[in-house]
Amino acid sequence: MKLLLTDSGVKNASIQEVLVGLLGKPIAECSALCIPTAGYGAPDADPGGPWRFISGRSAGPMTGLGWKSVGVLELTALPSIEEARWVSWVREADVLLVNGGDALYLGHWMRESGLAGLLPSLPDTVYVGLSAGSMVMTPRIGEEFVGWRPPAGGDGTLGVVDFSIFPHLDHPACPENTMARAERWAARIAGPAYAMDEQTAIKVVDGAVEVVSEGRWRYFGPTS
């Protein structure tokens, strides 16, 4: 699977150019599935958030980029659907667009639904995460970003990549997300990590990591 882990969606031309490169063809020729699930799990969640994401009216450009088609894959519904049906939907999609919200809630339902187990068999599919949709692919998120508590506790996520993400750096809606706080968070994470703002994304293909940014970001790790 090819990953584009964004902070706030496809916010600028640089991120969109990388997305098109990962797809290997124009956006207008690609079929997308959007996954709104994380939007229901945050402590301040409301039903308008998932609707804005699905309809392309959220602040983070994702579903409204001009796809050939867009479908909705709600993870909490998948256990009640014949597996072969929804797996075929996922395999036929060019891209998965994954909403923000609560990363631990999303991780729980990615496992419970079976989607997490399916991802390794999708080498050509592009996964585009937004905020929690990106953080869920990391090993852990840090206590600072724990909202919904999974049954087993902890702050562990899927660990598809080997680094963690501190999102929304210096965003007006998140005044607590300063670089100083990111430094303290990274020290407790005790592993490779990135702090990133809304103009930044991280591309991961075959383990190779590339930061794409028209904004501010910082790497925390052995060579930082």
Task: Indicate the domain borders of the chain.
Answer: 2-220
Whether residue 115 contacts residue 133, with contact meaning beta carbons closer than 8 Å, is answered with: no
What is the dihedral sign for C-alpha 216, 148, 40, 73? positive
Q: Which residue has the higher pLDDT, 173 or 121?
A: 121
* Tens-digit pLDDT profile for residues 187-220: 999 899 999 999 999 999 999 999 999 999 999 9
SS3 212: strand
pLDDT at site 224: 44
At residue 33, does pLDDT exceed 60? yes
- CB-CB contact of 169 with 196 (8 Å): yes
3: which strand partners? 127, 204
- Structure token pair of residue 61: 């450009």
d(CA 70, CA 63): 7
Residue closest to 98 by CA, chosen among 146, 50, 57: 50
**Mean pLDDT, residues 164-174 taken together:** 91
102 has pLDDT over 80? yes
Q: What pLDDT sits at residue 223?
A: 55
Query: Quick one: pLDDT band at residue 108, thresholds 50, 70, 90?
Result: very high
Q: What's the pLDDT score for residue 170? A: 86
Q: What is the rounded CA–CA span in Å between residue 71 and residue 80?
A: 18
Using DSSP, state whether 179 is helix, strand or coil.
Answer: helix
CATH top class, domain 2-220:
alpha beta
Distance from C-alpha of 118 to C-alpha of 152, rounded to nearest angstrom = 22
Q: Return the half-sphere exposure (C-beta side, CA atoms, 13 A cut-off) of residue 38.
A: 26
